[in-house]
Amino acid sequence: MAMKAVLFGTGWRSMFYIRIAKALPELLEIVSVCTRKRERAEMFGAEGLNAVTDSTEALSVPHDIVIVSSGPDGFFSLMKMLDERHETVLAETTFLSLSDSELDELSSMKGFVAEQYQYTPLFASAIASLDIIGNVDQLYLSGLHNHHAASIARLVLGFSGCVPDEILSTSFPSRILCTGTRKGMTVNGGMENYERKIRTLRFGDKLFINDFSSNQYASYLYGKHFEIRGDRGVITEREVRTVGDDGRPVVLPFIFHRDWTTGNGSLTLSHVTLGSRTLFSNPFYPASLNDDEIAIAEILRRMDSGEDCPTILSGIEDARTGRLL
């Protein structure tokens, strides 16, 4: 039976859950939506959703979980209210703007965070390949912001705690052709200013290099890049480089198998392979979900089945590390 969810927020992140509920009704049912603006409530109501502006009214509908995807404004007070109600929460990782005392207040809260990157086909495949390259001690990462980068670094390098032994940093202002904004692609050819921030963090014998540009989410000229170094090879976003039994170098590319789903012509990922090895199988295939939606749906599936998934405490720890990036 599908989990029944109350959804707070109607921004672009909230749309992931609405699309998942439509594509996987056996996994998720959104029983009410709470938004601050009446016009938004009316718009979602016209799409068949039970949308209201009053939190008490939204929570009065029988439900299993509360999804908080409403952005930083009022986030802390909303989370505290849900904690006092003993709700099971799945929260977006909006912890960066909170004070240390506010983070401490939420650290014992029951629930989970939508830290989905480890479950995306790309990062899930890389993590599944770590055994090939032996002992891993270095990660270079470009493409994830703050807490998301910290989460992947913690998984790949296996360090614990939030405070590194050493931090080196540089920030570099520059300009580049503008190709996109939050609203989508632009072809006006104008230039935009941006800042590239490089942070090097050492946790004992582990090295994490985070390289992020202020316009990286919107620019079509960037992508997600990473390099994981072990003592028997290197993993990048494209391939695994190691050595074979004969000692000769071997390059194994990640192959992302995408299939045209029947009826709607949507290209949907089915699985990822590395040589003869299947690293990732999409448990929701052939539902038409993008890679982020696959990952968030996996978190929902894990919540429903009682499997491990990122907790609010882990999200807070990632935010504390993320502040340094």
| 182-216 confidence digits (pLDDT tens) | 788 998 879 999 999 999 999 999 999 999 999 99
Question: CB neighbours of 79 closer than 8 A, spacing ≥ 6?
Answer: 68, 89, 91, 106, 109
Distance CA 258, CA 142 (A): 25
Amino acid at 51: A
Q: Angle, to 10 degrees, between the axis of helix 291-305 and the axis of helix 14-23?
A: 70
pLDDT at residue 265, rounded to an integer: 60
Task: State which H helix or E strand residue 141 sits in.
Answer: strand 136-142
Task: State which H helix or E strand residue 211 sits in.
Answer: strand 206-213
pLDDT at residue 47, rounded to an integer: 82
Bridge-based pairing of strands 277-281 and 267-274 is antiparallel
Q: Which residues of the chain have pLDDT under 50?
A: none
Is-same-fold flag (3-92; 118-290)? no
CATH class of 3-92: alpha beta
Please check whether residue 232 is in contact with residue 243, taking contact to mean a CB–CB distance below 8 angstroms: yes
Distance CA 83, CA 106 (A): 8
pTM of the shown model: 0.94
Locate all alpha helices (DSSP H) within 192-290, ordered by sequence: none
Residue pointed to by tokens 């609010």: 312
CATH of 118-290, picked from 2.60.40, 1.10.3470, 3.40.1000, 3.30.360, is: 3.30.360
Distance CA 240, CA 228 (A): 9
How crowded is the C-beta side of 138, counted as CA atoms within 13 Å?
A: 12
| 225-238 confidence digits (pLDDT tens) | 999 999 999 999 99
Domain boundaries, the chain: 3-92, 118-290
Q: How far is CA 248 from the centre of its chain?
A: 36
